[in-house]
């Protein structure tokens, strides 16, 4: 039997433990995830969870449990809203990062296989590369602004900075099209020499004057003047070009051939060649650093990565990642690039200025989708 003193001590210890657990649970509940600009969101490929990563500390600070598996996600940079999709249910879910609660669910009239946030962070364009269809959704209120059922199968759309035109590729007809969101009608510009050739999603110059798309069948990259609606220039890049990329400061257009590893850099002002060299096969992921100087070049097909310096016109660092990347995004300040794994629960953090690589452990299995709250990938 315990003495009276021992009983009192046990009671004090139990009360102390209870207070400690209460404070710990409150602290956990008080994790602030209301500012998307300092956060990364990573969804598990199989389990219904999203990990929230603090980009200053490079660690998981919160876990969101969802009703369904998440297939894709975006975060609005100027409001505490996280939007994620489930393809099987054609479902769009809107999560309030401030209250840490599911705010709204929307069933779409088409499969949201691809989703793109507009330049203001207030609207989302959904497309389906298999069955077609388009929906423009309000990112804040969750209302369907309009939908187009008779819309060709396509991948990511491209929002023009004029906030009216929405560009897309139509491989079935060999055209680059635009949706006029004011009148809710489409217009198409013929670019390929015949229908059925595989076109990449479009990219644009910083001012929206030129729209770029690659033809993966012929190896060409088209530059379309968005004002005259004609093909201004055609580049012959190789046999399997990646989606063109334009840099955040608007200086360069990058074109890559995945088969040969050819990298072509064009100064957009006069369309003069800045560099043309062989760097590495499979390059189709790009993130650009401050002042358009340092560039991360990577591949969704292999583990190799390269840091290319525009001042030296050369690769100054290269290596091999722990995984084959799913996607890449550049930080808003251009100092770092992030690569999510398609094979494991990891995100690589690459310091472009120090040329250093580190890893963050995330989710339970492998990554299915990821996004950061504010990226410098503005024209892609």
340: left (phi over 0), alpha (psi -120 to 50) or beta: beta
- CA 94 to chain CA centroid, Å, is 18
Number of C-alpha atoms within 13 angstroms, CB side, residue 213? 31
Report the number of distinct structural domains present in the chain. 2
User: pLDDT confidence of 380, banded at 50, 70, 90?
Assistant: low
- Per-residue model confidence (pLDDT) at position 250: 87
d(CA 359, CA 345): 10
Confidence of residue 150 (pLDDT cuts 50, 70, 90): very high
Tokens standing for residue 258? 């995945």
How does residue 22 score in pLDDT terms, banded at 50, 70 and 90?
Answer: very low
Residue 178 counted as domain residue: no
Within 153-281, strands assigned E span 158-159, 165-170, 175-180, 185-190, 203-204, 210-215, 220-225, 230-236, 245-246, 252-256, 262-267, 272-278
Q: How far is 277 from 213, CA to CA, in rounded Å?
A: 21
**For residue 264, what are its two tokens?**
């072509």
Location of structure tokens 């998307």? 36
CA distance 180 to 210: 17
Tokens of 1: 């039997």
pLDDT at 372 over 60: yes
**CB of 174 within 8 A of CB of 199?**
yes
Instruction: Round to whole Å and give the CA distance between 29 and 22.
Output: 11
Q: Quick check: 347 and 53 in contact, CB under 8 A?
A: yes
96/237 Cα distance (integer angstroms): 44
* Residue 13 confidence (pLDDT): 55
Residue 38 has what DSSP assignment?
Answer: G
**pLDDT above 70 as % of the chain:** 92
State the residue for tokens 């334009």: 246
Across residues 291-303, what is the average pLDDT? 96
Calpha distance 24→172 (Å, rounded): 57
Which class for 207: exposed (0-12), middle (13-18), buried (19 or more C-beta within 10 A)?
exposed
Instruction: Enumerate long-range contacts of 54-59, CB under 8 Å, 24 or more apart.
Output: 55/331, 55/372, 58/349, 58/358, 58/360, 59/360
236 occurs within a structural domain: no
pLDDT digits 0-9 by tens, 178-212? 999 999 999 999 999 999 999 999 999 988 999 99
Q: Has residue 9 got a pLDDT over 70?
A: no
99 within domain boundaries = no
DSSP 312: T
Query: For residue 7, what pLDDT is reported?
Result: 53
Task: Give residue 3's pLDDT band: very low, low, confident or very high (50, 70, 90).
Answer: low
* 80, two tokens: 């505490």
Please report which confidence band the pLDDT of residue 23 belongs to, taking 50, 70 and 90 as the band edges: very low
Tell whether 7 is covered by a domain: yes
Interval 314-346: pLDDT, tens: 999 999 999 999 999 999 999 999 999 999 999
pLDDT, tens digit, 9 for 90 and up, residues 27-42: 445 899 999 999 999 9
pLDDT tens digits, one per residue of 79-128: 999 999 999 999 999 999 999 999 999 999 999 999 999 999 999 999 99
How far is 133 from 131, CA to CA, in rounded Å? 7
Mean pLDDT value of segment 212-228: 96
Q: Is residue 368 part of a domain?
A: yes
Q: Given pLDDT bands bounded at 50, 70 and 90, which one contains residue 14? A: low
| pLDDT higher than 80, residue 17 | no
Instruction: Answer whether residue 93 is part of any domain.
Output: no
Q: Half-sphere exposure of residue 148, counting CA atoms within 13 Å on the CB side?
A: 21
174: left (phi over 0), alpha (psi -120 to 50) or beta: left
The pair of structure tokens assigned to 245 is 């990329």
Q: Which residues contact 173 (CB under 8 A, 6 or more apart)?
A: 152, 188, 190, 195
| Residue 270 pLDDT | 85
Domain assignment present for residue 164? The answer is no
Q: How far is CA 215 from CA 48, 104, 120, 251, in A?
A: 36, 39, 29, 23
Residue 304 covered by a domain? yes
DSSP 298-320: EESSSSEEEEEETTTTEEEEEEE
Q: Structural domain of residue 273, as residue ranges?
A: 247-380
CATH number assigned to the domain comprising residue 351: 2.130.10.10
Residue 153 has pLDDT above 90, yes or no: yes
């Amino acid at each position: 039997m315990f003495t009276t003193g021992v009983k009192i001590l046990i009671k004090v210890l139990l009360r102390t433990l209870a207070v400690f657990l209460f404070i710990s649970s409150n602290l956990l509940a008080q994790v602030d995830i209301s500012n998307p600009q300092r956060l990364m969101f990573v969804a598990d490929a199989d389990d219904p969870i999203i990990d929230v990563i603090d980009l200053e500390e490079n660690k998981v600070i919160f876990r969101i449990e969802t009703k369904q598996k998440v297939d894709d996600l975006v975060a609005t940079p100027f409001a505490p809203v996280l939007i994620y999709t489930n393809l099987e249910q054609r479902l769009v879910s809107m999560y309030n990062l401030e209250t840490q609660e599911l705010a709204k669910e929307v069933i779409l009239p088409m499969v949201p296989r691809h989703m793109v946030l507009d330049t203001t962070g207030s609207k989302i364009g959904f497309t389906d590369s298999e069955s077609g269809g388009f929906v423009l959704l309000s990112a804040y209120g969750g209302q369907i602004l309009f939908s187009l059922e008779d819309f060709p199968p396509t991948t990511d759309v491209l929002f023009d900075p004029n906030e009216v035109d929405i560009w897309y590729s139509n491989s079935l007809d060999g055209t680059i099209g635009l949706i006029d969101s004011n009148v809710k009608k489409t217009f198409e510009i013929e670019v390929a020499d015949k229908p059925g050739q595989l076109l990449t999603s479009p990219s644009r110059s910083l001012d929206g004057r030129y729209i770029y798309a690659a033809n993966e069948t012929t190896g060409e990259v088209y530059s379309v003047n968005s004002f005259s609606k004609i093909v201004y220039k055609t580049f012959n890049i190789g046999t399997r070009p990646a989606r063109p990329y334009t840099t955040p400061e608007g200086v360069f257009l990058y074109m890559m051939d995945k088969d040969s590893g050819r990298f072509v850099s064009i100064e957009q002002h006069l369309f003069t060649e800045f560099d043309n060299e062989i760097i590495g096969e499979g390059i189709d992921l790009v993130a650009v650093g401050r002042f358009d100087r340092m560039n991360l070049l990577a591949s969704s097909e292999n583990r190799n990565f390269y840091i290319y310096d525009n001042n030296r016109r050369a690769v100054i660092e290269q290596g091999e990642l722990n995984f084959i990347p799913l996607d890449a995004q550049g930080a808003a300040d251009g100092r770092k690039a992030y690569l999510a794994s398609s094979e494991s629960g990891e995100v690589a953090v690459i310091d472009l200025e120090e040329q250093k690589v580190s890893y963050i452990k995330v989710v339970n299995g492998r990554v299915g989708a990821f996004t950061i709250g504010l990226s410098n990938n503005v024209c892609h």
